[in-house]
Structure 1
Amino acid sequence: MLVDSHCHLDFPDFADERDEVVARARRAGVARMITICTYLSRFDRIREIAQAYPDVYCTVGVHPHNAGSELAGVSAERIAELAAHPKVVGIGETGLDYYYDKSPRDAQERSFRIHCRAARDTGLPVIVHTRDADEDTGRILEEEGAGRGLDGVLHCFSSGRALAEKALEMGFYVSLSGIVTFRNSEELRAIVGTVPLDRILVETDAPFLAPVPKRGKRNEPAFVAHTAAVVAEVKGVTPAELARRSTENALRLFSRMPAPAEEAGMGAGA
């Protein structure tokens, strides 16, 4: 049993076959999927998708790419209000992306801090996107979270060791995507080797970043099994053990999401 802790089931890539995508994930042993909000203005659609499937949950937030265009309508109070829905299990995704710089950096930081406040106010975890922004991400997390009850996850982790260590010191989790399976990800796998098993999540970030051996295809939640298998190898445990531990971690972090019952006949891989 696995949890895909980060996917985007609202994206157009899945519009024509969302039912089949969810069904394939179930057959692959994925018992929970969290579909992530990237535009606050599109939250209603995210919520509808989560409500349509008993094993799909969601978040509420604004991706750093969209911080510039959406910031005027975003407040911690508004995010918290939307997060009251029982299917919402986290705040975000939010953070900093200096690789693409699609939004002004000051807008990204303001949005990031708003989301951190909403996470503290609601008691829900914050889902952090960071790319080429390790130093500022670490600084903001320390300022917003140190001793203030902020909990969360570095999603699709591909940052440096220092940020991983800082996040772990704060009690955050590290979520691994298909990037960890790529041939040129030796440095990332070395960092993963130092992350405690009780702090690891797995995700697809679907429809992006399909893992080996599906690389080049549209990603989907069923493929998280391939990422989990590589993480298990790096950590020196069986795939079953990694699935058990990462699922426990996801349920601990996303505590509003109920534990699924073991379903007879679930497969072990995609």
Structure 2
Amino acid sequence: MWTRFIDAHLHLQDSRYGDQVDLVIDKARKSGVCSMFCNASKEKDWPIILDLSAQYPWIIPFLGIHPWYAQTTTKDWETRLYDSLSLCEYGAGIGETGLDKARPQEFEQQIALLEVHLDIALDLGLPVSLHCVRCWGKLIEILERRAALYKLPTVMIHSFNGSLESMKRLTRLGCYISFSSWIADPEHIKLRETFLETPLELVLLETDAPDQINPALADQEDLITSYNEPTLITAIYRAAAYQRGLHIENFAEQIWQNATVFANRALIR
């Protein structure tokens, strides 16, 4: 069986890749990475990501405002986001957005932006990639309230590092849980336990490249750059499949099927 991998969250537009981004993408492709969900952090990322997606159709554009950059939004940003997403003929999503208590001075603005992102996702029928740090209760409260009032868009919690109880509340809402390389680290015992308890049909895997390079992860000897790269998703898959006691081919195919709801028609191009 041909094993195909998908990186559910990364940032190929990041300036740290510079003029090596095409080499990074090519190496990942040769490693069996057949799709990548490329997430924006701020508005100036949007055209770069759309250009990458046009050049490489297997790169799915996710456009939005990261909570760290909530203060950078300018008038009518939401209209420009709506219009940019409406132009995507195939797969697209919203992200990354969310909440981060590490930036408490902007927290109310983060909440307001998150609500707008979720409204646009629902209106356009697009999935959302959510960031959450130190405020799981508030994020889940917002999602539960919206689920009770109308419905939720398809939601991925990226680079999950919350508690077992948070995972259970999120998956009861139908949210997908994306794990990064830290599940390969034996010191992250509670996270690994939560990964094993997460329903397999709601699991995704990601690198969050170029961030989150993890010394515990294999296959780092021949990277193009000194940063995390999407080619390392294959090592995350192997570690995750081993922990689950599953053959890598069957495990990877299940993750691929999980991810199709985020890619719309793009994966069948």
- Aligned-pair distance for 1:162? 2.1
Q: Which residue of structure 2 lines up, in the alignment, with residue 11 of structure 1?
A: 14
* 1:92 equivalent among 95, 110, 116: 95
CA contact (8 A) 1:51 1:87 kept: no
Q: Which residue of structure 1 lines up, in the alignment, with residue 263 of structure 2?
A: 254
Secondary structure, aligned partner of 1:38: coil
Secondary structure, aligned partner of 1:83: helix
Q: Which residue of structure 1 lines up, in the alignment, with residue 208 of structure 2?
A: 205
Any residues of structure 2 matched to 1:72-221 within 5 Å, and which? 72-75=75-78, 77-84=79-86, 85-86=88-89, 88-99=91-102, 101=103, 104-146=106-148, 147-211=150-214, 212-213=217-218, 217-221=226-230
In structure 2, relative to structure 1, the CA distance for the partners of 1:47 and 1:253 (3 Å cut) is closer
| Separation (CA, whole Å) in 1 of partners of 2:22 and 2:229 | 12
Q: Which residue of structure 1 lines up, in the alignment, with residue 232 of structure 2?
A: 223
Q: Which residue of structure 2 lines up, in the alignment, with residue 268 of structure 1?
A: none
Q: Which residue of structure 1 lines up, in the alignment, with residue 43 of structure 2?
A: 40
| Separation (CA, whole Å) in 2 of partners of 1:223 and 1:73 | 38
Deviations 1:181-210 (A, max 9, x none): 123211001001111111111111000112
- Aligned-pair distance for 1:10? 0.5
Residue identity (%): 26
Q: Which residue of structure 2 lines up, in the alignment, with residue 263 of structure 1?
A: none
| Separation (CA, whole Å) in 1 of partners of 2:29 and 2:68 | 31
| Separation (CA, whole Å) in 1 of partners of 2:252 and 2:36 | 14
Could you tell me the TM-score, scaled by structure 1's length?
A: 0.89
CA contact (8 A) 2:207 2:232 kept: yes
Q: Using the TM superposition, name which of 167-176 and 139-148 deviates more.
A: 139-148
- Aligned-pair distance for 1:248? 0.8
Secondary structure, aligned partner of 2:96: strand
| Separation (CA, whole Å) in 1 of partners of 2:133 and 2:32 | 30
Could you tell me the TM-score, scaled by structure 2's length?
A: 0.90
Secondary structure, aligned partner of 2:89: coil
Deviations 1:202-224 (A, max 9, x none): 11100011241257951111100
Aligned pair count reads: 258
Point out 4+ residue stretches in structure 1 off by more than 4 angstroms: 214-217
